[in-house]
């Protein structure tokens, strides 16, 4: 009987190994099929992304003359937009300064536009001091005024116009 039991065991064992081998082949084929779809889809997605993110145009620099011409056009457009939008000081205040000087929750640290009590001592120091602090930055007891309100693209005249606008609100 022992020989018969051994034959049954080897037959069942061989059958189990055969089933496992067939399952491995099936899994391999399914994995290859699934991976090939993912690769094709990834290529298609990357092509779509490349098309959507391609540059709209090109910039060609032809030396200093071109740079000067571009700067002149940009300056003309900026001046035109400032005139079209009204007062330069108000425009700069609303675009840059209001982020700190227009938030009532920050009144304990930063003098708010329109607060005569907070601005009085500063105005007494003179308008040139206010201009200098706004242009170059200032570290005071109440906090810090970053140079040009952290917008380095502002010209001195634009910063001065914004200071004039803020001072004009308390006078």
pLDDT, tens digit (0-9, with 9 covering 90-100), for 72-122: 766 666 655 544 444 888 888 888 888 888 877 676 678 888 888 888 888
Q: What 8-state DSSP symbol labels residue 54? A: S
Q: Provide the CB-side half-sphere exposure for 144 (13 A, CA).
A: 7
Q: CA–CA separation, 64 vs 80, rounded Å? A: 24
CATH entry, 87-170, from 1.10.760.10, 1.10.10.10, 1.10.1070.11, 1.10.3720.10: 1.10.760.10
Tell me, rounded to whole angstroms, the distance of Cα 19 from its chain centroid: 57
**Stated pTM of the model:** 0.50
Domain segments of the chain: what residues?
1-54, 87-170
């Amino acid at each position: 009987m022992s020989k018969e039991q051994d034959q049954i065991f080897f037959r069942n064992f061989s059958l189990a190994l055969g089933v496992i081998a067939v399952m491995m082949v099936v899994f391999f084929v399914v994995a290859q099929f699934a991976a090939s779809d993912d690769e094709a889809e990834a290529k298609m997605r990357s092509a779509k992304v490349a098309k959507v993110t391609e540059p709209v145009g090109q910039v060609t620099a032809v030396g200093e003359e071109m740079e000067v011409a571009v700067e002149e056009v940009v300056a003309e457009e900026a001046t035109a937009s400032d005139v079209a939008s009204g007062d330069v000081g108000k425009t700069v205040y609303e675009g840059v300064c209001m982020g700190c000087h227009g938030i009532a929750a920050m009144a304990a640290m930063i003098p708010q536009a329109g607060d005569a009590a907070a601005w009085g001592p500063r105005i007494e120091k003179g308008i040139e001091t206010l201009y200098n602090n706004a242009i170059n930055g200032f570290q005071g007891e109440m906090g810090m005024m970053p140079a040009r309100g952290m917008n380095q693209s502002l010209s001195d005249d634009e910063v001065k116009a914004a200071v004039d606008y803020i001072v004009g609100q308390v006078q």
